[in-house]
Amino acid sequence: MPMIEEQLKVLKTTFDKYAGKDGDKGSLSKAELADLLREEFPGMAGDKKELDAFFTGLDGDKDGKVSFPEFVQFAATLLLIMGGM
């Protein structure tokens, strides 16, 4: 399997761990995003107002759910900005 596909599947497995907690298993609700941020980006988890702003930013197509492509684009942008890579 090509490396990029394999690496994305690993990332999808982590995404699914949070996305699978309630409702639609393929996307993040706001509560699931809160869990993900708290566990994966401890420095970023703020109050409800910040969570709302994050969720709005992530939900590119405004359907109230965050898909895997929406999530990886956001996480990649975040890490580039934070200078993590």
Binding-site ranges for a copy of itself (CB under 8 A):
2-5, 7-12, 14-15, 36, 39-42, 67-70, 72-77, 79-80, 84-85
Closest CB 37 distance from a copy of itself, rounded Å: 10
Closest CB 46 distance from a copy of itself, rounded Å: 16
Question: What are the backbone angles phi and psi of residue 73, rounded to the nearest 5°?
Answer: -60, -45
Q: Is 60 exposed, middle or buried (0-12, 13-18, 19+ CB in 10 A)?
A: middle
**CA–CA separation, 29 and 81 (whole Å):** 24
Closest CB 59 distance from a copy of itself, rounded Å: 14
